Structure 1
Amino acid sequence: MEDALLHGCGHRFRPVMMTASVAMLALVPMLFSGAAPDPRLLRPLAAVVIAGLVTSTALALLVLPVLYRWFEEKEVEA
């Protein structure tokens, strides 16, 4: 089980990080832009979306495998 978790996490690390980092980088201009029609609306939106991407990436790559290993059914010895 541990080998499968380590292999799966290592295999999925690059695609998850690339997807999240591209989405976050696309929102950075919105976060620092002052030329938008109403930047008071767009800045908090960009900040919340970036924070959500960081949180979901951390949960998917770090917390979820740990929880899966923690709650996996233990083998019953007969």
Structure 2
Amino acid sequence: LYGAFGSVRDALIIFTAIPLSLTGGVLALWARDISLSISAGVGFIALSGIAVLNGVVMLSHIKDLMAQGMPLRDAVREGALRRLRPVLMTALVAGLGFVPMAFNTGIGSEVQRPLATVVVGGIVTATLLTLVVLPALYSRFGRKTVEQV
């Protein structure tokens, strides 16, 4: 992320998506009374990747708007509105793709269920973070101007 954005601050803002997404995965495991396992751990890894990807989509568009001369506050508001659909579609595709695995009862389901439960539960909180908290964090801690590359 540092290589993509050239800023440790931007990378750290994007990485804030991981703790909230992990919280959603843990809550989903608890709600379904599924214990933590290796396959759930793999689900946490996949979930972290999806959360970071959504953060990159959001933040890169905000930075593009700022590079075009838009002030920080306006770029954050406009960027969050313009990236609402791509972030929601990424979350829906990943979340809905794992729903059949989450409710599977056939052979091998004891491996699939924890992984899918973590991803589906974490996607909800990761999406909320990307759409609400990440823009708020960037408006508070982000750079006021963007250097032209």
Fold agreement, TM-score > 0.5: yes
TM-score by length of 2: 0.45
Distance in 1 separating the partners of 2:104 and 2:122: 20
Deviant stretches of 4+, over 3 Å: none
Residue matched to 1:60: 130
How far does residue 72 in structure 1 lie from its aligned partner after superposition? Answer: 4.0
Once the two structures are superposed, the pairs formed by residues 32-43 of structure 1 within 5 Å of their partners are 32-35=103-106, 37-43=107-113
Q: Does 1:30 align with 2:105?
A: no
Residue matched to 1:14: 85
Pair 69,31 (structure 1): closer, same or farther in 2 beyond 3 Å: same
How far does residue 23 in structure 1 lie from its aligned partner after superposition? Answer: 1.2
Structure 1: where are the runs of 5+ without partners? none
Which of 104, 116, 133 aligns to 1:46? It is 116
How far does residue 8 in structure 1 lie from its aligned partner after superposition? Answer: 0.2
Structure 2: where are the runs of 5+ without partners? 1-71, 145-149
Name the stretch that deviates more: 55-64 or 65-74: 65-74
Identity %: 49
Distance in 2 separating the partners of 1:62 and 1:49: 20
Per-residue displacement from partner, 1:23-66 (whole Å, max 9, x unpaired)? Answer: 1111111111112x221221111010112222221221111111
TM-score by length of 1: 0.80
Please, what is the CA RMSD of the aligned residues?
1.6
Indicate the structure (1 or 2) with the bigger Cα radius of gyration: 1
